[in-house]
Chains A and B, each alone.
Chain A
Amino acid sequence: MKLKRLVSFVLLALALAALIAPAQRAAAQKPTPSDDDVNRIAHQLYCPVCENTPLDVCPTEACRQWRDLIRQQLSQGWTEDQIKQYFVEQYGVRVLSEPPRTGLNWLVYVLPPLAIIAGAVLLLRAMRSWTKQPSATKSAEPDQQAPKDEYVRRLEEELKNRK
């Protein structure tokens, strides 16, 4: 019932909008939507009942019905955003493939870059401190290095000489 009411409400809204917006009129006159049209939108939505399954590939009967609903909505001239909005209102934001950029959800987008920048700064500072370290071990180092890495060093030396 609720769905029917919503559909009729949206249709009414669309009819009104069609009077002033030619773009909307074009959408309303759309021919029968193809499977690909349906899948394109279903792909951006997540199955409201299964875990982490996009709606276009979910094999359950419920998802088949939801895809039919998308087809119906498309044939009634709904736009992609309206269909997504409908699913969000019905089943919550978990149907979107990413959290909407509001409130706490901003953390998803902000925290990783901040952490990465912090990591880069830390690394840079650490590298600086290592380059500035007193070179007490410097004289001992080549001897210590030589037996370990002799082949690589010699190979590289040979190659340098060839140039």
Chain B
Amino acid sequence: MLAEIGYGILVIAFVVALYSVGAAVYGERKQLPAVVESARRAMLLLWPLITLAAASLILLLVGNHFEVSFVYEVTSRNMPTYLKITAWWGGQAGSLVFWSWLMSAFASLVTLRKWDRDREFLPWVIVVTSITTAFFLGLVVFYENPFARYWQTPDGQVLTSMFAPLNAVAMLPPDGRGLNPLLRHPGMIIHPPMLYLGFVSFVIPYAFAIAALITGRTDDRWIRLTRRWTLWAWLFLSFGLVLGSRWAYDVLGWGGFWGWDPVEIAALMPWLTGTAFLHSVMIQEKRGLLKQWNVILIILTYALVIFGTFLTRSGVLSSVHAFAQSAIGPAFFAFIGATFITSIGLLIYRWPDLRGETELKSMLSREALFLLNNLLFMSVLVVCFWGVIFPLISELVTGQKVTVGPPFYNRATAPLFASLMLLMGIAPLSAWGKSTVQTLGRAIWKPAVAALVVTVLLDFFYTRLAIALLGFYLVALVILVTLYEYWRGAHARQKTRGENFFAAFGRLTARNPRRYGGYFVHISMMLMAVGIMGINMFQKETQGTLPVNGDLKLGEYTVKYESIAQFNAVDNRQVTRAVVGVYDNKGNYLGELHPRIDYYPDAQQNMTIPGERATMRDDLYVLLVDWQPATATGATFKIFVNPLVNWLWIGALIFALGILIAVLIPDRETERVVVTRAQPAQQSSAAD
């Protein structure tokens, strides 16, 4: 019964979404506000409807209804309840419902805002968000129904369908297959929602861009309206990426966090265009340039969001043939094609209206450097896109399967990322409008020299590797420039207004949260760069089979095999857990680690969970690769020393702080009215 209810609601939601599209277009064309209002209400109805459908699905998951094939695929009796709930997005059909649910939530939030003078955008925002929701609902209603059940025909065949085929009887498997063990991890519980939140929230700025194109209101209003949405989207997407990396590091057991896997790249691509967009919209706001380009960027971001979902959902990555056989692959392809062509068509139609208002005065101005930044992000995108697509083209054209792996991406993107870092060092010091070599040189020479001093010190005390020193120089340059810029601002306030330094520091941030939040983000990116360089350039590894009390040395660590034990965990996992002692090179005891292998009988799969010892300097990462069950005397360990990797995670936290500053503190520039109303106490400082 629950399955029928759930499916029924999904069908209704699909129809309501289509109605809201139709009503919005009709109401706008015929100038009937009541019809547009009806479309808006239909849109608002979507979230409660999908919530109900999702609730039915969750009840089925929690209640062990293995007659439902989705429930059978992703849960088993012995899984804890919280995992049964999160199994909602652990499989294809459920994750598509999850996508629509989040999409409808965001669409509702944006439709609930006060539209006042932006009312002309409303119908078209409804159209875009509802079409997107309808597409995902259509996928679950027609192709990937999470409520489909198992039926057995009289000749013993097992079929999967929503309703009973002729003469078939319902089939109830005694237990489910259980969630893929790789996904039974806290990181995997939060990672997909974060990523999806990032994906769907980028749909909002896209919807406004399309609304601006259709209505011809091509000034920067759409950008100002969606600034926060874009920042939230960026925060979610970035965090989705970081959490995914952390999950890979903790669960996949290969000593790293990023393998340039197509699935990772699928999520990185919209991040690249989104990041370029975040920067280039500032040029439009400040200088009235790049209107066409900003629309292109947000169209690309939307297309890449859908494309990313398509890549991971359609099976196209394993083989082009799997794609052709999958039901949803061609549907995705058609949707991406249709929305992309329509968007580009609209853009061409409005092209003349989107010309720049001003001229570019100097090649060293902030806007010119932002353009370079955009070029670099686009270049990384080209490398990523081509690297993901080429194996498909090769298979299609020559039938030959090829792998495009880390060596390709590392070689191609390293210089691009290094250039981006250099830009991050220069751009904050350049002025909007006009900058000359002299003004820039005067501003930058102190941090540049200081960064050089840092690099020389590192050369003496840390590494002689030239490429690493270049990287560290850039990191030091960016951090010092950013701090210097911050200090200059605070110092100027301190001098002119007699504030104490810390008050000046705080006020400065509050006065221009976007700028200073952005600086936090720059610093955090550099910390993350330190982590990434550390693991890429200095990672050490070794492997060996040890008897009990035998040891293995790597770098400054000695790992001693002490014991091993096997036991069953509550969730039916068979755990083989080794105890290893960790010593430094002087023989001092540093603690013990517990690398283990978890065997999941329901999925017949092993998971290799590392023992990790994390410090600011490095991570000791010990894997239990193999052991001899008969004697328990020998075990094979693989050890990694991952220098500096923890700076990546620290950077990620500072990154979130930077974004929150930019999102949560009202921006005086764009929301002057709100600020004066909400914070009369700060009026005086606003006027000074």
Given A57-B254, A59-B608, A96–B360 Cβ distance below 8 Å?
A: no
> Chain B residues with Cβ under 8 A from A120's Cβ?
375
- Shortest A89–chain B CB gap in Å is 14
> Chain A residues with Cβ under 8 A from B286's Cβ?
145, 148-149
A36 an interface residue at 8 Å Cβ cutoff?
A: yes
> Chain A residues with Cβ under 8 A from B360's Cβ?
127, 130-131
- Assess whether A119 is in contact with B378, with CB atoms less than 8 Å apart: yes
Mostly helix, strand, loop or mixed at chain A's interface?
A: helix
- Over the window 284-306 of chain B, the binary record of Cβ atoms lying under 8 Å from chain A Cβ atoms (1 yes, 0 no) is 01100100000000000000000
> Chain B residues with Cβ under 8 A from A93's Cβ?
400-402
* A138-159, CB < 8 A from B: 138, 141, 145, 148-149, 151-152, 155-156, 158-159
Contact of B407 among A35, A94, A98, A152 (CB under 8 A): A98
> Chain A residues with Cβ under 8 A from B684's Cβ?
none
- Assess whether B398 is in contact with A99, with CB atoms less than 8 Å apart: no
Given A35-B545, A123-B375, A107–B390 Cβ distance below 8 Å?
A: yes
A81 an interface residue at 8 Å Cβ cutoff?
A: no
- Assess whether A94 is in contact with B608, with CB atoms less than 8 Å apart: no
- Assess whether A108 is in contact with B408, with CB atoms less than 8 Å apart: yes
> Chain A residues with Cβ under 8 A from B262's Cβ?
52
Stretch at the interface among B31-39, B171-179, B468-476, B536-544: B536-544
* B401-433, CB < 8 A from A: 401-408, 412, 431-433
> Chain B residues with Cβ under 8 A from A155's Cβ?
489, 492
- Shortest B308–chain A CB gap in Å is 16
* B499-555, CB < 8 A from A: 511-512, 515, 541-545
Given A99-B403, A105-B394, A162-B492, A35–B254 Cβ distance below 8 Å?
A: no
- Over the window 374-392 of chain B, the binary record of Cβ atoms lying under 8 Å from chain A Cβ atoms (1 yes, 0 no) is 0100110011001100100
B118 an interface residue at 8 Å Cβ cutoff?
A: no
Contact of B386 among A64, A94, A111 (CB under 8 A): A111
- Assess whether B253 is in contact with A97, with CB atoms less than 8 Å apart: no
Contact of A137 among B357, B368, B382 (CB under 8 A): B357
Contact of A151 among B318, B393, B398, B512 (CB under 8 A): B512
- Assess whether B405 is in contact with A130, with CB atoms less than 8 Å apart: no
- Assess whether B358 is in contact with A141, with CB atoms less than 8 Å apart: yes
A20 an interface residue at 8 Å Cβ cutoff?
A: no
- Shortest A115–chain B CB gap in Å is 5
* B contact residues, total (Cβ < 8 Å): 69
- Shortest A36–chain B CB gap in Å is 5
CA distance A108 to B363 in the complex (A): 32
> Chain B residues with Cβ under 8 A from A130's Cβ?
289, 356, 359-360
Given A59-B606, A152-B515, A158–B492 Cβ distance below 8 Å?
A: yes
Q: What class of interface size applies to chain A in its complex with B?
A: 35 or more
* A103-147, CB < 8 A from B: 103-105, 107-108, 111-112, 115-116, 119-120, 123, 127, 130-133, 135, 137-138, 141, 145
CA distance A54 to B394 in the complex (A): 20
Contact of B408 among A98, A115, A133 (CB under 8 A): A98
- Assess whether A54 is in contact with B254, with CB atoms less than 8 Å apart: yes
- Over the window 627-660 of chain B, the binary record of Cβ atoms lying under 8 Å from chain A Cβ atoms (1 yes, 0 no) is 0000000001010000000000000000000000
- Shortest B315–chain A CB gap in Å is 10
CA distance A98 to B492 in the complex (A): 53
- Assess whether A96 is in contact with B403, with CB atoms less than 8 Å apart: yes
- Over the window 230-271 of chain B, the binary record of Cβ atoms lying under 8 Å from chain A Cβ atoms (1 yes, 0 no) is 000000000000000000000011110001011000000000
- Assess whether B401 is in contact with A92, with CB atoms less than 8 Å apart: yes
**Nearest residue, chain A, Cβ from B408:** A98
**Nearest residue, chain B, Cβ from A94:** B401
26 contacts between A and B (CB under 8 A): A34-B544, A35-B545, A35-B636, A39-B543, A39-B638, A52-B259, A52-B261, A54-B259, A64-B626, A92-B401, A96-B403, A97-B405, A99-B390, A108-B387, A108-B404, A123-B371, A127-B360, A127-B368, A130-B289, A132-B359, A133-B356, A151-B668, A151-B669, A158-B496, A159-B492, A162-B492
Residues of B within 8 A of A (CB): 252-255, 259, 261-262, 285-286, 289, 317-318, 356-361, 363, 368, 371-372, 375, 378-379, 382-383, 386-387, 390, 393-394, 397-398, 400-408, 412, 431-433, 439, 442, 488-489, 492, 495-496, 511-512, 515, 541-545, 606, 608, 626, 636, 638, 668-669
Q: Contacts A94-B400, A158-B496 known; list 13 others, CB within 8 Å.
A: A34-B544, A35-B544, A39-B541, A52-B403, A59-B253, A95-B403, A105-B394, A108-B404, A112-B383, A123-B375, A127-B363, A130-B289, A155-B492
